[in-house]
Chain A
């Protein structure tokens, strides 16, 4: 075989094709963003007190002109809107953590759940709820939210570091990482079960509510803390997109392409754990988003993390916001924990996607 370079000024059809694909992806992201806006408008309208678009517009005017709030406006700005923003932040954080963990472990099963973040956080929260309720004799879910959150966060991180530590001892193979995640997850789940078994009735109710996940704790105060954190961590992780892309062909290839694989792994793992556990801490366990959103996004936009990460965040936000809106409205005025809805709607939808897809989005 003879090797020849294309002579002269070569046409770049293939390259242009890639260019158009990139444009298409940006367009898809824009459409998804608009979908998110649409979902927000929809969820502001729906609820025990439903309102029309005209009312929504007048509310925005009230906010802008500084007029006194009507009752409906009060509901929207102090109850509904914080909850919507919280759902969006959580959806983004979980989906983003899912993408990062799947990329790092090169495994489609990886998610904040499989790496032990959720069970660690659950254990931390359980500890705070049960011991906190015992010590202070108050309803901790209402009063000691920050205590629960801090505990959930600490134990969520602890779980991942334990998993990472075990994997490091065994030379950091990704299979060991995943298996260690499952083992540590089981360990913490056993802890949660034990706490549930020995806790008092009042604490048990709080604990179960927390474990099911929901946005009852949504307050502007919490959002003020979570929103900047989520955005900053996301931007950091987004910046690692290229490195994560190269990792998909294996550690050696990534290393030969100039990526410090060890550092990448540690940084991305710490940041994604921070992202997932800080939101889980306030919302409780919300299943499935961290696993499903990345997969759906890969089917839409491909595997380039530069586009996959924002796409997955948008999908995660839309899915979780829709789920929460359903949770709020379907049995109104009774609310269902959103964790139940995400799994109940998410699982069949995901199975449908698995069956109809033309291509394996993992190997």
Chain B
């Protein structure tokens, strides 16, 4: 079980996350959504242990994250960053092999090679094994980054906007991989997403963040209501049930300084 309790994070004298509490269950895929600058990525980085909370704790299986050594943490929580390029050219195989860092000291054994090979097969990028990362598409790169995280063999997988800059095919593939990791392998998958429809369609639970606070959390149909979206995103929407999930259409922006209600509805 992975949870945050009363978590706050301050940076440069400003609270960017305030009193956030949430539980992420095994086998669930959770999307963290919210407007730009709401604190989604901060929450994810606190979960990953990159940012030190000013208050509260991230707990993994009842143990505070800060008490777990970096190496052990790397065997329990993996992180897939937003699309980045390595500083120097790496092949796909080499990059995925980096995921074995928490397990290897120096030499790479047969077992490590087999794990990486199987992951590449599993994500259907084995032909790209020897390709350099700057020779492949953004979607393929994202899959390679996921493969690296999977090579860490962790129970929790965090993804920071995994679909940014991907075409619809890769968007679908990447999110489906995330969903399968939770549903078929029982891992805890947590991702920051911008696209509300995709978030509603692929996740079991949604955490809606606004102004550094968790505004609402629950099942997609509980979170994605016209009222919530109006308060958080300041837009009027039509929320309908489409053929493959929710369909959210923005009809008009809410006038600024109007009747926006800042109160937080926290259902915890």
Contact = CB atoms under 8 A, between A and B. Distances in A.
A243 B104 CA distance: 11
A15 B81 contact: no
Interface stretch (A4-12, A34-42, A66-74, A335-343): A4-12
B64 interface: no
Q: Is the interface of A mostly helix, strand, loop or mixed?
A: loop
B98 A246 contact: yes
A298 to B, nearest CB: 6
Contact of B50 (A4, A107, A252, A298): A252
A244 B253 CA distance: 48
Contact of A255 (B50, B98, B130, B152): B50
B98 A249 contact: yes
Interface in B63-119: 70-75, 77-79, 81, 84-90, 93-95, 97-99, 101-102, 104-106, 108, 110, 113-114, 116-118
B132 interface: yes
A83 interface: no
A298 B84 CA distance: 21
Contacts of B75: 258
Interface in A11-68: 12-19, 22
Interface stretch (B121-129, B193-201, B223-231, B233-241): B121-129
A18 B45 CA distance: 33
Interface string A343-358: 0000000000000000
B60 interface: no
B173 interface: yes
B87 to A, nearest CB: 3
B118 A246 contact: no
Contacts of B88: 102-103, 106, 108, 248, 298, 303, 361-363
Interface string A241-263: 11101101110110111111000
Contacts of B98: 245-246, 249, 253, 257
Contacts of B152: 256-257
Contacts of B81: 249-250, 252-253
Contact of A252 (B48, B90, B95, B117): B48
Given A107-B87, A256-B78, A360-B89, A15 B110 contact: yes
Contact of B173 (A1, A6, A16, A361): A1
Sorting the interface of chain A by its residue count into under 10, 10 to 19, 20 to 34 or 35 or more gives 35 or more
A90 B116 CA distance: 39
Contacts of B54: none
A361 B95 CA distance: 15
Contacts of A248: 86-88, 90
Interface string B19-45: 000000000000000000000000001
Contact of A12 (B73, B87, B105, B117): B117
A14 B108 contact: no
Nearest to A256: B79
B134 A363 contact: yes
B56 interface: no
A184 to B, nearest CB: 22
Interface stretch (B176-184, B203-211, B244-252, B254-262): B176-184
Contact of B117 (A14, A106, A245, A249): A14
A258 B101 contact: yes
Contacts of B177: 1, 3
A177 B28 CA distance: 41
Contacts of A359: 89, 132
A238 to B, nearest CB: 10
Interface string B118-150: 101110101001101010000000000000110
B49 interface: yes
A107 B88 CA distance: 8
A258 B71 contact: yes
15 contacts: A1-B176, A4-B122, A17-B129, A18-B93, A18-B116, A102-B88, A248-B86, A249-B98, A255-B49, A256-B50, A256-B74, A256-B149, A257-B102, A258-B75, A359-B132
Which 10 pairs between the two chains have the least Cβ-Cβ distance? A15-B113, A258-B74, A106-B87, A256-B79, A257-B101, A258-B71, A303-B88, A15-B117, A3-B180, A14-B117
Given A249-B86, A250-B84, A252-B48, 15 more contacts: A6-B122, A14-B113, A14-B117, A18-B113, A242-B106, A249-B148, A252-B45, A255-B49, A256-B77, A256-B149, A257-B74, A258-B70, A258-B71, A258-B74, A361-B89
